[in-house]
């Protein structure tokens, strides 16, 4: 090992590698220049590394059911009431197509570069370091403040059975999440696998139940055959499209929130035992998740639940009173089943809360490790856990207790406003990173045949993804500027769009901090090799990587 420069101490007391250092390839790569950003897959070889404990079944379940939670089961109620059932389905299809393009692009990049930080690193390397910094912190902050929302939503679902003080359930759920963190990435993977199976079974069961209800097969339901009655019943206030074009645009916000977390499968690649095998399988599962678990279930729900129902009013955010899925079962007159499905919703919300913790902690750790955050956040303990980011995330979970205050809802809405556009930023950045990567790959004279996994939609799919992101942000801007049922209101606008000026401020901050005034990484200067991991054909589940010989755990970074 050759090195030069000054070294510094890590949190565990050992000396860190100096700046401008190169490590042996079996230890990983550290390539750092002061004032620049870079990919570090393994980090300092003296420091503990993130555990690669996610097997193929974990990755597939994260892709299929990882983010099915309050956005689908709860937030869809307000979208049904404001946009109508047809707008609801079309809105989710459009966001779904965007996600298909995004996940395909992410799959190609993450299989080739399963680096810690994933899409934040891709933004730094292929777009602009300042944009990667802005997107990374926007994403981390988004998950930080989403956690208390999910915990609150879980507590509110308990209110369906009994009016307990919500603070009690917030404490219970937060304590449960803290316990899960002790088991590291393995705990995250196993919890997501078990809860994901429950969610998938529940959604499939609801689809079958909804078809029976719609055909008039429930003896206690006096509505009989429903068909598409609620799509064309203007006399009673039920319409396929409600509130015109503005109502249609309002669905995008709910759909984006519901799909948030789909990109976690790429973030998890750095802790996957064999991403070259498990990640392509997981990305291909996203289509079925979008088509089956979102679009079909929402289509069925919109058919059997009246979109003029007063129970759907005020059914978004932390003030949710009833899930439209529970209402569908309740209106059919089936005893006991609403409580069962409400329990599933509680489990689903906790699953997303678990994903919040994973998404924020890994992003913060990666940002710090890449020199874009406080150094103490980069520290990983001997079991592969980013300790300080986990502590910060759990501290943010305590914000759920502000619901006990009289002005809690107002504070909560402003906190959630920070996350409003973060998903669009991330998805658009992933697609554009893929476009730029392909340009750099071609300029370097490399063949697409050298890619271990290639996006099935190619560069054209990524351009479609970028276009749809811009379209959805424009629709969101329109609805925030001219809200439903009210005159333009600055408070409403900034609650919905404050994330944009924050992202621009973060971008400007990093430009000023580094005094790098260039825009966009030049194609010829792109780093196409750091962080690449090469694999032998190793099993996904039957033989965990940690039990294999060193030769079969080949992990190499090449300049």
- For the segment 407-420, the average pLDDT, to the nearest whole number, is 68
- What's domain 56-518's superfamily in CATH? Amino acid/polyamine transporter I (1.20.1740.10)
The neighbouring-strand residues paired with 9 are 15
pLDDT confidence bin for 128, thresholds 50/70/90: very high
Q: Is the pLDDT of residue 348 over 50?
A: yes
Q: Is the pLDDT of residue 164 over 70?
A: no
Residue 511 confidence (pLDDT)? 95
Report for 348-352, 386-390, 440-444, 548-552: range of highest mean pLDDT: 440-444
Structural tokens at position 97: 């197509």
Residue 139 CA to residue 476 CA, distance in Å, equals: 18
Q: Is the pLDDT of residue 123 over 50?
A: yes
Dihedrals φ, ψ of 538, to 5°?
Answer: -110, 155
Residues near 545 by beta carbon (within 8 Å), at least 6 away in sequence? 52, 273, 274, 538, 553
pTM summary value: 0.81
Q: In this predicted model, what pLDDT tens digit does every residue of 32-81 receive, in sequence order?
A: 333 333 333 343 334 456 656 566 666 666 666 556 777 788 888 888 98
Residue 67 confidence (pLDDT)? 65
Residue 144 confidence (pLDDT)? 87
Q: 221 with 441: CB under 8 angstroms?
A: no
Find the range with the poorest average confidence among 11-15, 131-135, 296-300, 499-503. 11-15
Would you give the DSSP letter of residue 54? B
More confident of the two residues 299 and 45:
299
Q: 272 with 40: CB under 8 angstroms?
A: no
Find the range with the poorest average confidence among 30-39, 383-392, 402-411, 466-475. 30-39
3-state secondary structure of 40: coil
Structural tokens at position 3: 């090195």
More confident of the two residues 432 and 160:
432
Q: Is the pLDDT of residue 184 over 60?
A: yes
Q: Is the pLDDT of residue 373 over 70?
A: yes
Burial 353-384 (b: 16+ CB within 10 A, else e): bbbbbbbbbbbbbbbbbbbbbeeebbbbeeeb
- For the segment 535-553, the average pLDDT, to the nearest whole number, is 41
């Amino acid at each position: 090992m050759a090195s030069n420069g000054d070294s510094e101490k890590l949190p565990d007391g050992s000396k860190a590698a100096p700046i401008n250092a190169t490590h042996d390839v079996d230890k990983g790569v550290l390539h750092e220049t002061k004032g620049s950003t870079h990919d570090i897959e393994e980090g300092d070889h003296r420091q503990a590394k993130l555990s690669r404990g996610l097997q193929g079944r974990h990755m597939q379940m994260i892709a299929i059911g990882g983010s099915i939670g309050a956005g689908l089961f709860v937030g869809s109620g307000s979208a049904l009431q404001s946009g109508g059932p047809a707008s609801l389905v079309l809105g989710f299809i459009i966001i779904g197509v965007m996600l298909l393009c995004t996940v395909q692009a992410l799959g190609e990049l993450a299989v080739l570069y399963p680096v810690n930080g994933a899409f934040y690193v891709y933004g730094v390397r292929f777009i602009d370091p300042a944009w990667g910094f802005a997107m990374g912190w926007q994403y981390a902050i988004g998950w930080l403040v989403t956690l208390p929302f999910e915990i609150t939503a879980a507590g509110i679902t308990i209110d369906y059975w009994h009016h307990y003080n919500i603070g009690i359930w917030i404490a219970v759920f937060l304590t449960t999440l803290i316990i899960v963190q002790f088991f590291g990435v393995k705990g995250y993977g196993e919890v997501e696998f078990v809860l994901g199976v429950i969610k998938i079974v529940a959604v499939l069961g609801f689809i079958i139940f909804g078809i029976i209800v719609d055909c008039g097969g429930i003896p206690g339901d006096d509505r009989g055959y429903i068909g598409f009655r609620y799509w064309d019943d203007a006399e009673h206030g039920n319409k396929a499209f409600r509130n015109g074009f503005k109502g249609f645009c309002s669905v995008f916000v709910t759909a984006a929130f519901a799909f948030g977390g789909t990109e976690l499968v790429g973030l998890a690649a750095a802790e996957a035992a064999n991403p070259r095998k498990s990640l392509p399988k997981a990305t291909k599962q996203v289509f079925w998740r979008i088509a089956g678990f979102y679009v079909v279930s929402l289509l069925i729900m919109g058919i059997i639940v009246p979109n003029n129902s007063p129970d759907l009013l005020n059914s978004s955010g932390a003030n949710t009173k009833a899930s439209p899925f529970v209402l569908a079962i309740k209106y059919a007159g089936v005893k006991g089943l609403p409580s069962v499905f409400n329990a599933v919703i509680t489990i689903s919300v906790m699953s997303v809360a678990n994903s919040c913790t994973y998404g924020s902690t890994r992003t913060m750790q990666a940002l710090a490790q890449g020199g874009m955050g406080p150094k103490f956040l980069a520290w990983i303990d001997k079991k592969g856990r980013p300790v300080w980011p986990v502590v910060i995330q759990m501290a943010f979970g305590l914000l759920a207790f502000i619901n006990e205050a009289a002005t809690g809802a107002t504070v909560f809405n402003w906190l959630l406003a920070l996350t409003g556009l973060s998903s669009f930023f991330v998805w658009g950045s992933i697609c554009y990173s893929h476009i730029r990567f392909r340009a750099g790959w071609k300029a370097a004279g490399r063949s697409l045949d050298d890619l271990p996994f290639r996006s099935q939609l190619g560069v054209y799919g990524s351009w479609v993804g970028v276009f749809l992101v811009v379209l959805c942000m424009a629709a969101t801007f329109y609805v925030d500027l001219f809200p439903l049922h009210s005159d333009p209101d600055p408070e409403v606008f900034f609650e919905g769009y404050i994330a944009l000026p924050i992202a621009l401020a973060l971008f400007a901050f990093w430009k000023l901090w580094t005094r790098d005034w260039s825009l966009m990484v030049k194609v010829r200067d792109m780093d196409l090799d750091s962080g690449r991991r090469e694999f032998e054909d190793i099993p996904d589940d039957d033989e965990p990587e940690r039990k294999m010989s060193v030769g079969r755990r080949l992990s190499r970074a090449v300049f």
